[in-house]
Amino acid sequence: GDSVTQMEGPVTLSEEAFLTINCTYTATGYPSLFWYVQYPGEGLQLLLKATKADDKGSNKGFEATYRKETTSFHLEKGSVQVSDSAVYFCALSDPVYKLSFGAGTTVTVRA
């Protein structure tokens, strides 16, 4: 079945550092790919998405490119802020549009 593997955390960074969270997927067909973010005590929020190969999703300085050849959707941000501290989930949607999530990566940014 469909599955998502993302790098384990926790990840601790200093402000203005570069962030990369690796995500790879296994799926039949051509899923859509998402990054969701969960701030402490809150529900998940969609951060960005890509619906086909070579699409780049971007939002709030975060970017991820749908790479079909490497089945990857790595999340990057060039300069993180303390407010980016959260849990990040990579996800894919199947033809019924339910989401399969990775395990989540906890990111802590220190001032």
Question: Measured from the CB atom, is 33 or 109 closer to other proteins?
Answer: 33
Q: What's the min distance (Å) between Cβ of 58 and other proteins?
A: 15
| Nearest in space to 77 (alpha carbons), one of 37, 26, 24, 39 | 37
Q: Which residues bind other proteins (CB under 8 A)?
A: 32, 34, 36, 42-46, 49, 51, 89, 93, 95-104
Q: What's the min distance (Å) between Cβ of 39 and other proteins?
A: 11
CB 49 within 8 A of CB 34: yes
Q: What's the min distance (Å) between Cβ of 93 and other proteins?
A: 7
CB atoms within 10 A of CB 48: 19
